[in-house]
Chains A and B, each alone.
Chain A
Amino acid sequence: MLSLARLAAMIFKEFVQIRRDRPTFGMIVGIPLLQLLLFGFAINSDPKHLPTGVLDADHGPVGRAVVAAMRASGYFEVVADFVSEAEVEDALATGKTQFVVTVPADFSRRVLRGERPQLLVEADATDPAAAANALSALEKLADGAAARALAGPSASLRRAAAPFDLVVHRRYNPEGETAFNIVPGLMGVVLTMTMVIMTCLAVTRERERGTMESLLALPLRPVEVMLGKIVPYILIGYVQVLFILVAAKFLFAVPMQGSLILLSAATIVFITANLAVGFTFSTIAANQLQAVQMGFFFFLPSIMLSGFMFPFRGMPVWAQTVGECLPLTHFLRIVRGILLKGSGGAEILADLLAIAAFLAVAGAVALRRYRVTLD
């Protein structure tokens, strides 16, 4: 028979314990709040004001009109004027611009002659979703823009369907394969999830099981404990990386343009950064449950604000700022850059330095917070 009195005793006991565990209580409120904030305000699957570069060799009215119309659409924001092909390549490879419009020499004149010259728009299509809406808007606006430019004496040309050919190059991922973007990205996501929680648990476990006391009584330096806790997981992280890379190559046929050695080197910095975060959490968490919750609290913004799930440039400035502070954001750029764009050391340097800076800060905090005593 179910006894209400016994049941009530059990329920009451649970509430007492829930109330005692403050951090867990905080998470009960914090996680939904974080989700609401991220999903409600930060996420936008229709990114606008995408950084666009222009290489205008024509300096004529039609090219200018097309660029002006692109601006007016709200999808494109001209952030750079280029003069050489090399600059264009660099801007796309480093991700400085998402699009580059190349207006060839004599473009306006040839339009007026009715020769239907080509207007080249190159898009960084590593993330097909991020570029899709802008590109479809581009097709529509190009016609109208040309039409407006051809007012007056040249109006006869307006009868033609379009006075120029709009050529769109979807760079790095011409087929628009979502997997090409997701699978390399998954490497960073998996590492963030497992590395943070693993180290966090590794230290908290020592405290929860009471083994910390023996450990602290031994003549170990904090840095020895910290590195000793971190190094095994770097190896485990590499096993995960290897697993995903093999799957990416043979299961999803993800192109691997760049150097895998460079990727390995960047990965070690990224893994270590995440492990340092986990170690820092472990100095705060009182038990393993709290450690997992903190790991989740870090993981959630990482996955949402890094550009993994949703286009990074679609997010409001505050969310992008938060995203820039997360190592995953930079690692995604590095891994996509190396695999899809064939980026080299120079192209990934800025993002690698950002992760290294994060590692330095997280490592310093972890070492400062780690106590060699039980106080």
Chain B
Amino acid sequence: MTAAIAVRGLTKRFSGRAVVDGVDLTVGEGRIMGFLGPNGSGKTTTIRMLCGLLTVDAGEGTCLGLDIRREAAAIKRQAGYMTQRFSLYEDMTVAENLDFVARVHGIPGRRARVDEAVARLGLGDRRGQLAGSLSGGWKQRLALAAAILHRPRLLLLDEPTAGVDPKARREFWDRIHGFAAEGMTVLVSTHYMDEAERCHAIAYIAYGRLLTHGTVAEVVAATGLAAAVVTGGGEPRLIARLKALPGVETATAMGADAHVAGGDAAALAAALDGLARETGAAWRPEAPNLEDAFIHLMAQSRDNFAAGEA
């Protein structure tokens, strides 16, 4: 399998501070790669470097076999980019926006292709509506339509589903899988765990550094976390007490119950047994999930980052 994205040591500095720091990333053709990480971790900056919107300070690599430093213009012709914030023209209609993008790309049979994109994304009823008057979900559809209009081989999506309702999100992901099935490579950044789980592979970035990548199962397994569900027994301050226990890294309320995770399975079990004796709460082991893994990674990288700064 050839790689649609293959970069090594990708680095970007803003006024001396490395926002993206030596990121290595490989995405196979036709794959959906989820790009995760806390706010400000460098996801957007990485995506912008991949599609030539930001110059690369250090590192090298290719997108679609084209050098990201020297062939940015050629990459732009074959990549579709959907920005985090809606960035099409709000004072132009849906059709006018798409027509503009189609003309810039020099798409042959422009009208037919715009019609096709409109139909594919169900924008038909809103063709003549000003983009600025669309609601969030429709803006997202329009932005996606514009990004795929020229049938790019690579689709870069920067938090495409932020602020979009669950039904629209599901439809969106069905479309993304449809594109991938046609051979399009997709790199999509997200904060949603359920979305991450729909990707073929994920990469996790924090403080500008790529911490882990692989399938969801691989990433979770690599953290070596143990998790459990604690059934409360009416204890009102359950979460606070759980968080105070040694061996518990995270404790999250799930209704009346709590989900806990820690790096050491034995220490976690011992702590929960102690709590059970004291309060009458029950617990049973549970598989750790992606969220546990991310919070664990985030805490770790924060410690590393602080150590590096000191």
A residues with a Cβ closer than 8 A to B are 209-214, 216-221, 372-375
**A210-B86, A211-B89 given; A217·B104 CB < 8 A:** no
A sample of 22 cross-chain residue pairs with beta-carbon separation below 8 angstroms, ordered by A number, consists of A210-B86, A211-B87, A211-B88, A213-B83, A214-B81, A214-B83, A214-B87, A216-B53, A217-B51, A217-B76, A217-B79, A217-B83, A218-B101, A218-B105, A219-B104, A219-B105, A372-B72, A373-B52, A373-B53, A373-B54, A374-B48, A375-B55
Residue contact A374 to B85, C-beta cutoff 8 Å: no
In the complex, chain B residues whose CB is within 8 Å of the CB of A218: 76, 101, 104-105
| Measured CA separation A219–B88 after assembly (Å) | 15
Q: Which of B65-91 contact A (CB under 8 A)?
A: 72-73, 76-77, 79, 81, 83, 85-90
Which residue of chain A lies nearest to B87 when distances are taken between CB atoms in the complex? A214
CB-CB < 8 A to A213: which residues of B?
Answer: 53, 83, 85, 87
Considering only residues 88-126 of chain B, those with a C-beta below 8 Å from chain A are 88-90, 101, 104-105
Q: Count A-B pairs with CB separation below 8 Å.
A: 49
A214 closest partner in B (C-beta): B87
Size class of the contact patch on chain B = 20 to 34
B residues lining the A interface (CB < 8 Å):
48, 51-55, 72-73, 76-77, 79, 81, 83, 85-90, 101, 104-105, 146
Residues in A neighbouring B77, C-beta threshold 8 A: 219
Chain B residues near A372: list those with CB within 8 A: 52, 72
Q: How far is the CB of B51 from chain A (nearest CB, A)?
A: 6
**B214 CB to nearest A CB, Å:** 29
| B contact residues around A214 at 8 Å (CB) | 81, 83, 87-88, 146
Q: Is the CB of B55 within 8 A of A219?
A: no
In the bound complex, CA of A209 to CA of B105 (Å): 22
Q: Is the CB of A373 within 8 A of B105?
A: no
Using Cβ atoms and an 8 Å threshold, which residues of chain A touch B72?
A: 372
A217 touches B89 (CB 8 A): no
B88 to chain A: which residues have CB within 8 Å?
211, 214
Given A209-B90, A219-B77, 20 additional A-B pairs, CB 8 A:
A209-B87, A210-B83, A211-B87, A211-B89, A213-B85, A213-B87, A214-B81, A214-B146, A217-B53, A217-B81, A217-B83, A218-B76, A218-B101, A218-B105, A219-B73, A219-B104, A220-B104, A373-B53, A374-B48, A375-B55
Instruction: Identify the 10 closest CB pairs spanning chains A and B, nearest first.
Output: A214-B87, A217-B81, A219-B76, A219-B77, A213-B87, A210-B87, A218-B104, A213-B83, A211-B87, A210-B85
Q: Which chain A residue lies CB-closest to B88? A: A214
